[in-house]
Copies of this chain bind each other. A is one copy, B any other.
Amino acid sequence: MLAAPRSAPAWHVSRWFGTDEPLSLERLRGRIVVLHAFQILCPGCVLRGIPQAQRIAEVFAGAPVQVVGLHTVFEHHEVMRPEALAAFLHEYRVRFPVGVDVPGEPGDPIPRTMRAYGLRGTPSTVLIDAAGAIRAEYFGVHDDLALGAAIGALVTEADGTLTTNQPSVQSERVRCEGGCGPVSDS
């Protein structure tokens, strides 16, 4: 599932949200980067992709893993401007930094970073290793177990410490989900 390393193109971002300083692959060297490309009017992104990215940020908060959002608008440009993104990030309480992908060359609806990475659409998730190389790319929402495994593998490869947390948003609770023990454990 992890591919041979290929160099990750630089990010072309016109504006950052949720970070005091602009982010770049150079600045994040040494950390596993989970790059999450989305659009605020894409149902699969809003209903599945963004919640998964939020959980990744929360579960791996103590590990050398950085989730970075990228707003790759390739349609409905006029209603997905940065002001709309800002309201979205506020309302959905998105905790990870998000960059606005720079619009494409004249006549190209695909923004520049999305074009450089060859992404097919949204949502897309790109895993970049600690050395700055692309190791996996998923178009559409990927399974949690498989995505977790890839992140765990990259952290281990980089000799990082794999620390994880239980996410705060849980599914519907069922009895003994947290485990049920013997009444008397003599």
Interface residues of A in 11-51 (CB under 8 A from B): 41-48
Contacts A150-B152, A152-B156; A93 near B142 (Cβ below 8 A):
no
Whether the pair A121, B182 counts as a contact (CB closer than 8 A) is yes
Report A19 CB to chain B, min CB distance, Å. 21
Whether the pair A148, B152 counts as a contact (CB closer than 8 A) is yes
Whether the pair B164, A169 counts as a contact (CB closer than 8 A) is no
Q: Which of B41, B121, B144, B164 contacts A150 (CB 8 A)?
A: B164
Q: Which residues of B contact A141 (CB under 8 A)?
A: 177-179
Contacts A180-B42, A182-B75; A149 near B146 (Cβ below 8 A):
no
Q: Is A64 an interface residue (CB 8 A)?
A: no
Q: Which residues of B contact A74 (CB under 8 A)?
A: 182
Whether the pair A145, B179 counts as a contact (CB closer than 8 A) is no
Whether the pair A145, B144 counts as a contact (CB closer than 8 A) is yes
Smallest CB gap from A55: residue in B: B145
Instruction: Tell me, in angstroms, the Cα distance from A19 to B93 when the chains sit together.
Output: 34
**Most B CB atoms within 10 A — which of A147, A156, A169, A186?**
A156
Whether the pair A177, B84 counts as a contact (CB closer than 8 A) is no
Instruction: Tell me, in angstroms, the Cα distance from A170 to B55 when the chains sit together.
Output: 18
Report A117 CB to chain B, min CB distance, Å. 13
Chain A residues close to B by CB (< 8 Å): 1-2, 41-48, 55-56, 59-60, 74-76, 78-81, 83-84, 87-88, 91-93, 107-110, 120-124, 139-153, 155-157, 162-167, 169-186
Give me the 6 closest cross-chain CB pairs, A-B, nearest first: A148-B148, A44-B176, A121-B181, A149-B152, A152-B152, A140-B179
